[in-house]
């Protein structure tokens, strides 16, 4: 158990939007997607009221066999595992504990590192990330954005300042294979994508992209940005723009009008392998003043070379169809190798994690 009682979590969530219109989706190719491994997850022992059915989001650490959180922590390095409870209540998608005190933030990592950093050093509203080892803070400043690394003590190991007079938000949108984070510095209409080079203690601007959700496909030398494109015909339609890692535009096209319901939720997940761009969303039943929004989920895969949608949940076949039935897949998380991790609720006290080699 790595988070003290009363602690909050730091979790990054992708934004959502609405789809643009396009020609009807073509008949999708049959996906040749291999299931690489699967883990059965049992509920924590001794917790009678634990319920996997109430999971609304899932978090995974970096690595080939990650530690995950879905109402409880569990490992994925064995075929069967038992989850362990923690008193923390996650609020952002990052496996790190963040406790806000009277005059300092206490940050605790999965490995047990503990850092108490005064607000005079890092502001209260900063976001925190586990560098394994060490921790990283991202925050806005009067002059722009500030990134600070901490390894021991209350003083930062190093600080990188980025001058930018128009910062509206600073967010981590990806990780490079060597551990460098990809940072988006948001402005009103666009975002500067920055590679924070940890070894050099430097920030290198990669590209300026439309503001929206971002996915990194490092092995393919590509970045995807999904954003709202306002036109005379549609005020809330979405497009995707593809760039290489030098910031050169590669292609841009509108996304399909969809009934797949991958929008309308802040928890949409976005993955990209350099050619296939996919989006998955799950949202639970929501009741508000007599209006019920039913439980739902949606999934879409786009071929960015062909510039078209190639499949949705309606096209699911084989093992993926069985997993995705009745919105049992509560999360489909992108992995660094271009694949995906599906978290599947089997029952109140059972769940399953399946690793796919590519978007299913």
Task: Tell me, yes or no, whether 148 lies in a domain.
Answer: yes
User: Does residue 60 belong to any structural domain of this protein?
Assistant: yes
State the Cα–Cα distance between residues 181 and 172, nearest whole angstrom. Answer: 7
Q: Which residues does 248 contact at the CB level (< 8 Å), separation at least 6? A: none
Mean pLDDT of 105-128: 92
Q: What is the CATH number of the domain that holds 37?
A: 2.130.10
Question: What mean pLDDT is reported for the chain?
Answer: 85
293/209 Cα distance (integer angstroms) = 33
pLDDT at site 310: 94
Dump pLDDT digits (tens) for 141-190.
989 999 999 998 899 999 999 999 899 999 999 999 999 999 999 998 89
**Domain with 189 in it:** 8-356
pLDDT of 9 > 90? The answer is no
Give one DSSP letter per residue of 43-112, joined into a string.
Answer: PPTT-TT--GGG----EE-SSSS--EESSSEE--SSSEEE-B--S-B--SSSS-EEEE-SSEEEEE-TT-
Write down the pTM of the prediction: 0.85
Region of poorest pLDDT, from 57-71, 239-253, 283-297: 283-297
pLDDT-derived band at 56 (thresholds 50, 70, 90) equals confident
Domain annotation covers residue 3: no
Task: Judge whether 89 lies within some domain.
Answer: yes
Provide the terminal-to-terminal Cα distance of the chain, rounded to the nearest Å: 33
Count the domains in the chain: 1
Can you tell me the mean pLDDT for 341-356? 97
Report the pLDDT averaged over residues 130-138: 94
Look at residue 32 and tell me if it is in a domain: yes
Better-predicted residue by pLDDT, 222 or 233: 222
Query: What is the pLDDT at residue 344?
Result: 97
Percent of the chain with pLDDT over 90: 66
In a domain, 2, yes or no: no
Instruction: Please tell me the distance from the alpha carbon of residue 322 to that of residue 77, in angstroms, as a whole number.
Output: 23
Confidence band, pLDDT 50/70/90 cuts, at residue 88: low
**Is residue 34 a part of any domain in this protein?**
yes
- Residue 356: band (very low, low, confident or very high) from pLDDT cuts 50, 70, 90: very high
137 is a domain residue? yes
User: For the chain, what's the residue count?
Assistant: 360
Check residues 30 and 155 and name the one with the higher pLDDT: 155
Neighbour tally for 246: CB within 10 Å: 8
């Amino acid at each position: 158990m790595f988070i003290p009682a009363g602690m909050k979590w730091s979790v990054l969530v992708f934004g959502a939007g609405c789809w643009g219109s396009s020609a009807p989706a073509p008949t999708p190719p049959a996906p040749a997607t291999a299931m690489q491994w699967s883990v059965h997850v049992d509920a924590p022992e001794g917790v009678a009221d634990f319920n996997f059915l109430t999971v609304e989001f899932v978090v995974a650490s970096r690595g080939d066999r990650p530690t995950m959180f879905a109402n409880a922590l569990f490992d994925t390095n064995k075929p069967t595992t038992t989850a362990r409870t923690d008193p923390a209540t996650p609020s952002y998608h990052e496996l790190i504990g963040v406790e806000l005190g009277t005059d300092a933030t206490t940050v605790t990592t999965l490995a047990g590192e503990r850092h108490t950093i005064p607000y005079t050093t890092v502001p209260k509203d900063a976001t925190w990330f586990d560098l394994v080892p060490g921790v990283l803070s991202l925050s806005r400043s009067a002059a722009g954005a500030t990134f600070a690394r901490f390894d021991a003590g209350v003083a930062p190991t190093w600080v990188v300042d980025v001058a930018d007079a128009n910062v509206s938000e600073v967010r981590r949108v990806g990780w490079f294979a060597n551990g460098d984070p990809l940072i988006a510095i948001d402005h009103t209409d666009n975002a500067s994508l920055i590679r924070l080079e940890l070894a050099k203690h430097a920030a290198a601007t990669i590209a300026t992209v439309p503001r929206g959700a971002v996915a990194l496909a490092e092995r393919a030398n590509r970045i995807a940005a999904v954003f709202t494109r306002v036109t005379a015909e549609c005020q809330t339609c979405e497009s995707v723009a593809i760039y290489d890692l030098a910031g050169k535009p590669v292609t841009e096209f509108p996304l399909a009008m969809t009934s797949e319901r991958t929008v309308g939720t802040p928890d949409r997940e976005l993955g990209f392998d350099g050619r296939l761009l996919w989006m998955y969303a799950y949202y639970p039943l929501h009741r508000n003043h007599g209006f019920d929004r039913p439980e739902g989920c949606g999934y879409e895969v786009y071929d960015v070379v062909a510039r078209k949608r190639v499949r949705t949940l309606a096209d699911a076949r084989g093992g993926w169809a069985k997993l995705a039935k009745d919105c049992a897949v509560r999360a489909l998380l992108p992995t660094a190798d271009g694949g995906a991790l599906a978290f599947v609720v089997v029952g109140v006290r059972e769940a399953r994690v399946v690793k796919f080699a590519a978007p299913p």
